[in-house]
Structure 1
Amino acid sequence: MRTTLTATQLKCPKCAVHIEEEIKKKNLARDLVIDVPTGIISVEADEEQLIQIKRLLSQAGLYHEEHEERTERFITISGLVLFAIGFAAIRLSPPVGITFLVVSSIINGYPRVHELVHNLSVGVLDIFDENLLMLLGGTGGFIAGAYVEAAMVFNLYALAEIIEESVKKKAQEGLRSILTDIPDSAMLIKEQQLVAVEVEQLKAGDHIRFTAGDTVPVDVVLLSPALVDESVITGESAPVNHEPGDMVLSGSKLLTPCDAEVLRPLQESNLAQVQKTIAQTLSRKSAFRSWMERFTNVYSPLVLISAVAVFLFGLLSGNAFSVAVYRSSVLLLIACPCSLLLASPSAVSAAVSTLARQGVLVRNTDALEKLPQVGTVIFDKTGTITTGRMKITEAQISDEHLALVASVESYFKHPVADAIVAYAAEKNIVLKEAKVRQNGNVITGEIENHQVELTMKDLLQVKVDGMDVGFFKVEEELRDEAPWVIQRLKDQGYKIIILSGDQHEKVETLARQLKVDEYYANMTPEGKQAFVKELEKREHCLMVGDGLNDALALSEAHVSVALPDRRIKTIVETADFILSGTLTPLVNLPSYAQSYTSTVKTNVGLSLGIKVAIFTTSLLGYVALPLAVVADEGTALLVLLNSLRLTSRASH
């Protein structure tokens, strides 16, 4: 089962890598995602494995039960109070003041020592470990006789952690709503009895019963009416009334009791697939993140070498030992690369969780950076602009003959047949048994000594006993939001193109109705691929399709979006983004991508600018220990707060 844990003490991406390696080495999880900016650890493991993971995280000082967190918070605040007393008392009575400062430093420095000792014990200590650098810097301050400033190092770090925890809890809300725990059990209806079974044991065709407030663990088809909260799936807050036969995806919450039939087992259901995709997305490195990691591989050693050089230069130039230690301690405090490494992942985490709650699943975060470069939007027609279903727009036939036609069509599973059967159901027409067969575009059937012949050309022509008795005009059902979405995209300056494998007349009619710039008909999947590939030589495009016969075209586009049929599949491997049931989020997705890119650039600018400024001025001796702490922890906090702004923006 997938479970979400919170490790708010987790701050450094390198620490996350060590934890991930340890969990995988001990084979404690089938799947694992660690999101450093929010401190969320999502694992797929059994109960015994989960206990061991919690123990491992607890030993590293990264995970605490709720009562342990309250105790630690009380101890931290007590240390801060003692620091305040020492700060006030040191001028009146230096020995008393220094005592309080030392005790407060021990209290708020101990968690760092504990984590450092753990890293040493498991052999994963990094020379740029934040705990080691803080202890060296703070201890150097005490050696230099700067008692107040040295105590500030330990206590400012503790205060910064309290602030960061509150910011992370806000950021966690988005991811928690997506990486929510799937219920462990379900009530199986078996031989008219209710039996509690593990969700993993459910299989397609099983009947299960829900009570009000239950989260749907697997994709189901309703057997009775229900009011459903689908906000986790689509981002729409208004509950939806569903009728028997409607599909409800896992992750939805039932507001009324109902019975349902399992459509897909747990691992194939929507929520499991979404969680897996988000886990893969968060673990994938964006271009900005890769660049920043390369930079820190140069920055941190440079600062550390500078600290040693400043210490030696100070001694050789006649400075007092305490002065040399103090100035090198400042550099040690800003050598930690953690705040730099958070610049990109914090924005990724905020964007992925926010877009997922708005019905957009991000598979490739680099696509968010590429989306502002797009000038043309290409739509596939069937299943994308249209629903993939047909509707009766005109029917010239009697109810008696309609009953015969619908009875024949009920034996077939294709869009036209579904439309006619639904049309007959609206008229409360009772279907009859028939003997049917199909030859190309002609269907024949025998019902109660009547011979029925259906021929599909531009219209569905109907003959009964050799006589023409009527016809149906059938058209593809246009998505309700499609005209509005296309017009809004045109208003934003995008060129709109439709590609379709359908006949020219049908595509032309739709293109004129939607007022698109260009349209192309009779296109094979390979033809669509070639068209997109050729267009990409001149300008970047966004391809929107259903992921079935346009997968090749999606793979060629600069950015790709899939709107898959939820009844068939959830994840389209070739798409950068997956939409959940509607085209609406497309309208604001480009502007959100622009905000994301700006946020990442701002984070990188803040991180680099502050670090470089403090590094330069500290070489000249103008930076005090507390300012170095504020620069390091403050930068991380600014980055988190700036990324958190992305969670307040909606994609539609």
Structure 2
Amino acid sequence: MIQYRVKGLSCANCAKNLEEEIQKLEYGENAKLNFQSSKLYVNEEINITKVKKILASDGAYIEEENKHEDTHSYLLWLVLLSVLAFIAAVVFEKTLSPSASVTMYIIATVISGYKTFLKGAKNLVRLKFNIDTLMTIALIGAFGIGEWKEGAVVAILFGVNEYLEGLGMEKARRSIESLLEVAPNEATIVINGQEKKVSIHDIKAGDIVLVKAGEKIPSDGIVVEGKSSVNEAAITGESLPVEKEAKDEVFGGSINNEGILKVRITKPYEESSLAKILHLVEEAQETKTPTEQFINKFAKYYTPLIMLISLVVIFIPPLFLGVDWRTSLYQGLAVLIVGCPCALVLSSPIAIVSGITRNARKGILVKGGVYLEQLGKIGIIAFDKTGTLTKGEPYVEKFVEYDPSFWSIIGSIEKSSTHPIAKAIMKKIDELNVSLLEARSVVVTSGEGIKAEIDGKEYRVGNEKTIQHLSLSENVKEDIKTFKQEGLTIVLVSDDKNVLGMVGIADEIRQESSQVIRMLHRTGVKRTVMLTGDHEKTAEKVAKKVGLSEYFANLLPEEKVEKVKELSLSGKTAMIGDGINDAPALAAADLGIAMGKGTDSAIETADIVLMQDHLGKLPEAISTAKKVNRIIKLNIGIALGLKAAALLLTIPGWLTLWIAILSDMGATVLVTLISLTILWERNKKLLNEAFS
């Protein structure tokens, strides 16, 4: 598929009609024209000349590469010129002959409405009824009964309406495009000590790049030389800089704040985190939510229904109620203008794009409008434990020492081990500043632990199997029982006669987990559930500490899937995880949410990706999604409410052409402005309440 940027799309409904026309061409069956992103996707084999002709029928065109034209400024100038012509007509009406003022009214109408008239005339010949057709009929009718001033007002207000509609959508598009500007254009690679500027698309895995202060890191990599703080806001949404030094990972698109870094590239730009983000954000605009699909279907029936009502208003009163034909025709033309579905069709897309943009700025990637809509309806959230609610890193939570040499012995034996539990023990020893000895004859026994000799005496470090040869005192037995009840992994140290001490290892709970759970409940999430493969006591302990509604332990990956399906029967369910074993459960949920620093399979499977290594931004994302859903409902109510109010004015005969067009324009302006408030929302109240 080839991608083109299209300018001049007048409305979402018009874009849909153009898409259908293009799909009728040879090789055009897969063509897609998206109003939100202003992009056209067609097969390479399609006749692009015919495509351009179809686009031109609605005043749209394919923008030339690297040439960005401001069609909105052009529209604004046309409206301003037509307003000046209208003012001149009003002046001439009082000072010159009526024919001069009529000429100026016609000029004002032509300047502002000639494109609409031409498109409408073509549609009228084809018996194709849309906004342009309705406006053309209304203008012809108005001039036909001598309402020159009214016709000019309608044309001018419709021009203003089109300008505001396009401006609102362009504002939403630009908010997305501003995110895409974070990608650097070039990189400085170092070859044999020489620096060379290349395009980021030319760098490959293994290249060494030089990143100076203020420059963007071109792709994901590992620091090999230098030390600096790096701004990762473009990737994770976190505003605070992160300190980086040799062996630390860095993201493409992040900014080096000071100093010079040498980075070994681990992924070409196209596979980097930044490229994935930009691709997901662009794709997110292309999907249509169920609400949008319903609105588009409704608009198809709405316009013909309005035309039928217009015919009733034109013919019934003169034939049966003795109303003057001219008055009745005027009212019928006004009803036609009320039938313009612009505000209705616009009620959803600007809000959706604004919501996706706002979340993307915070490092939360929503892969489409349909998932944003779903996020706002979530009532149940299921969490994986390890790496999601906890850090996935063992740490010493509790210890008991029966002999003063306990820490010195365990540290001397574990210092050369690379096992995660050994690392947790050594971290604790560093905190305690313990002096270590030389361990000899170290023997690792699988499933038990380690034997070693220190100062000619044998010691053992490991689980309960390592002390089977000992007769345990009651206090040691009691401590082991307590550690087990608390869900801790026990590491014991003993000599050939006694237990010297024990440590209880746990997976450290993330500092923000309890705050996040509290905030989620405040946003309206009814149930927070943990699904874990860990044993019952560990699960119970974590669930209690973070404030979860419920938990399920000892689950295999396939059992997690079944549990997610079971939860989905009770309401809209989201699943959050980061590991490869979470991917099936993410896919089974109504909404899959992955941690951004998790596995590629989880990120690929998920519908929403949290680019941070924590859940802190999730409540705000849900709050934003709920706001989007509320605004869409409000917009639909405004669009239909103003139309209904205008139609009711036909009963006493008060509906005029300018009131009809103002009802549509007013709805469009309100719908646009209300939708754009999503970009300005701060959600401070929710955050203050949650952390107070």
TM interval, shorter chain, is 0.7 to 0.9
1:346·1:640 contact (CA, 8 Å) conserved in 2? yes
Residues 40-79 of structure 1 aligned to structure 2 (within 5 Å): 41=39, 60=60, 65-66=68-69, 70=73, 73-79=76-82
- Name 1:505's counterpart in structure 2: 537
Q: Between the two proteins, what is the percent identity of the paired residues?
A: 26
Query: SS of the residue aligned with 1:18?
Result: helix
- Structure 2 residue 479 is matched with structure 1 residue 475: no
What is the letter of the counterpart of residue 104 of structure 2? F
Please give the alpha-carbon distance, in whole angstroms, between the structure 2 residues aligned to 1:23 and 1:189.
49
After alignment, is 387-396 or 399-408 more displaced?
Answer: 399-408
CA separation of 1:424/1:188 partners in 2, compared to 1, >3 Å: closer, same or farther?
A: farther
Please give the alpha-carbon distance, in whole angstroms, between the structure 1 residues aligned to 2:217 and 2:421.
32
- Name 2:222's counterpart in structure 1: 221
- Residues 302-342 of structure 1, C-alpha deviation per residue, up to 9 Å, x if partnerless? 22334455555578678777556534432332333332222
Please give the alpha-carbon distance, in whole angstroms, between the structure 1 residues aligned to 2:240 and 2:4.
26
What is the letter of the counterpart of residue 527 of structure 1? E
After alignment, is 586-595 or 421-430 more displaced?
Answer: 421-430
CA separation of 1:255/1:548 partners in 2, compared to 1, >3 Å: closer, same or farther?
A: same
- Structure 2 residue 524 is matched with structure 1 residue 521: no
Task: Report the RMSD for the aligned CA atoms in angstroms.
Answer: 5.0
Q: Say which of 564, 572, 575 aligns to 1:532.
A: 564
Task: Please report how far the alpha carbon of residue 350 of structure 1 lies from its aligned counterpart in structure 2 after TM superposition.
Answer: 1.8
Please give the alpha-carbon distance, in whole angstroms, between the structure 1 residues aligned to 2:365 and 2:550.
28
2:231·2:257 contact (CA, 8 Å) conserved in 1? yes
Task: Please report how far the alpha carbon of residue 604 of structure 1 lies from its aligned counterpart in structure 2 after TM superposition.
Answer: 1.4
Please give the alpha-carbon distance, in whole angstroms, between the structure 2 residues aligned to 1:40 and 1:153.
27
- Structure 2 residue 287 is matched with structure 1 residue 284: yes
Query: SS of the residue aligned with 2:506?
Result: strand
1:60·1:115 contact (CA, 8 Å) conserved in 2? no
- Name 2:207's counterpart in structure 1: 206
Task: Please report how far the alpha carbon of residue 582 of structure 1 lies from its aligned counterpart in structure 2 after TM superposition.
Answer: 2.1
- Name 1:363's counterpart in structure 2: 367
Please give the alpha-carbon distance, in whole angstroms, between the structure 1 residues aligned to 2:430 and 2:7.
55
Task: Please report how far the alpha carbon of residue 495 of structure 1 lies from its aligned counterpart in structure 2 after TM superposition.
Answer: 4.1
- Structure 2 residue 663 is matched with structure 1 residue 636: no
Please give the alpha-carbon distance, in whole angstroms, between the structure 2 residues aligned to 1:261 and 1:524.
38
Task: Please report how far the alpha carbon of residue 152 of structure 1 lies from its aligned counterpart in structure 2 after TM superposition.
Answer: 1.0
What is the letter of the counterpart of residue 333 of structure 1? I
- Name 1:544's counterpart in structure 2: 576
2:9·2:38 contact (CA, 8 Å) conserved in 1? no
CA separation of 1:21/1:150 partners in 2, compared to 1, >3 Å: closer, same or farther?
A: closer
- Residues 333-375 of structure 1, C-alpha deviation per residue, up to 9 Å, x if partnerless? 2333332222222222222211222232223645555556655
Task: Please report how far the alpha carbon of residue 157 of structure 1 lies from its aligned counterpart in structure 2 after TM superposition.
Answer: 2.0
CA separation of 1:87/1:288 partners in 2, compared to 1, >3 Å: closer, same or farther?
A: same
- Residues 192-250 of structure 1, C-alpha deviation per residue, up to 9 Å, x if partnerless? 22333333333333222334444444333334333333333333333333333333334
Please give the alpha-carbon distance, in whole angstroms, between the structure 2 residues aligned to 1:42 and 1:214.
34
What is the letter of the counterpart of residue 144 of structure 2? I
1:303·1:615 contact (CA, 8 Å) conserved in 2? no
1:360·1:579 contact (CA, 8 Å) conserved in 2? yes
* Structure 2 portions without partners, runs of 5+: 400-404, 465-488, 688-692
TM-score (norm 1): 0.80
Larger radius of gyration: 2
Please give the alpha-carbon distance, in whole angstroms, between the structure 2 residues aligned to 1:116 and 1:262.
56
- Residues 460-484 of structure 1, C-alpha deviation per residue, up to 9 Å, x if partnerless? 568999x999987543232221122
2:364·2:608 contact (CA, 8 Å) conserved in 1? no
- Name 1:275's counterpart in structure 2: 278
Query: SS of the residue aligned with 2:129?
Result: coil
What is the letter of the counterpart of residue 670 of structure 2? L
CA separation of 1:17/1:439 partners in 2, compared to 1, >3 Å: closer, same or farther?
A: farther
- Structure 2 residue 247 is matched with structure 1 residue 245: yes
2:534·2:554 contact (CA, 8 Å) conserved in 1? yes
Please give the alpha-carbon distance, in whole angstroms, between the structure 2 residues aligned to 1:80 and 1:208.
57
- Name 2:193's counterpart in structure 1: 192
Query: SS of the residue aligned with 2:153?
Result: helix
- Name 2:18's counterpart in structure 1: 18
TM-score (norm 2): 0.76
- Residues 44-90 of structure 1, C-alpha deviation per residue, up to 9 Å, x if partnerless? 999xxx9x999998972586845776555434322222222223432
CA separation of 1:74/1:570 partners in 2, compared to 1, >3 Å: closer, same or farther?
A: farther
What is the letter of the counterpart of residue 249 of structure 2? M
Please give the alpha-carbon distance, in whole angstroms, between the structure 2 residues aligned to 1:531 and 1:563.
20
Residues 610-629 of structure 1 aligned to structure 2 (within 5 Å): 610-618=642-650, 621-629=653-661
Q: Say which of 594, 599, 607 aligns to 2:626.
A: 594
1:23·1:53 contact (CA, 8 Å) conserved in 2? no
Task: Please report how far the alpha carbon of residue 138 of structure 1 lies from its aligned counterpart in structure 2 after TM superposition.
Answer: 2.1
After alignment, is 355-364 or 54-63 more displaced?
Answer: 54-63
Residues 390-401 of structure 1 aligned to structure 2 (within 5 Å): 390-392=394-396
- Name 1:326's counterpart in structure 2: 330
Query: SS of the residue aligned with 2:222?
Result: strand
Please give the alpha-carbon distance, in whole angstroms, between the structure 1 residues aligned to 2:441 and 2:349.
62
- Structure 2 residue 622 is matched with structure 1 residue 582: no
Task: Name the count of aligned residue pairs.
Answer: 637
2:214·2:256 contact (CA, 8 Å) conserved in 1? yes
Please give the alpha-carbon distance, in whole angstroms, between the structure 2 residues aligned to 1:445 and 1:267.
49
Please give the alpha-carbon distance, in whole angstroms, between the structure 1 residues aligned to 2:21 and 2:430.
58
1:454·1:462 contact (CA, 8 Å) conserved in 2? yes
Task: Please report how far the alpha carbon of residue 149 of structure 1 lies from its aligned counterpart in structure 2 after TM superposition.
Answer: 0.9
After alignment, is 418-427 or 278-287 more displaced?
Answer: 418-427
Task: Please report how far the alpha carbon of residue 381 of structure 1 lies from its aligned counterpart in structure 2 after TM superposition.
Answer: 0.8
Q: Say which of 260, 264, 269 aligns to 2:267.
A: 264
- Name 1:486's counterpart in structure 2: 517
1:442·1:453 contact (CA, 8 Å) conserved in 2? no
Please give the alpha-carbon distance, in whole angstroms, between the structure 1 residues aligned to 2:631 and 2:567.
30
2:334·2:660 contact (CA, 8 Å) conserved in 1? yes
1:167·1:641 contact (CA, 8 Å) conserved in 2? yes
CA separation of 1:160/1:365 partners in 2, compared to 1, >3 Å: closer, same or farther?
A: closer
After alignment, is 416-425 or 153-162 more displaced?
Answer: 416-425
- Name 2:92's counterpart in structure 1: 89
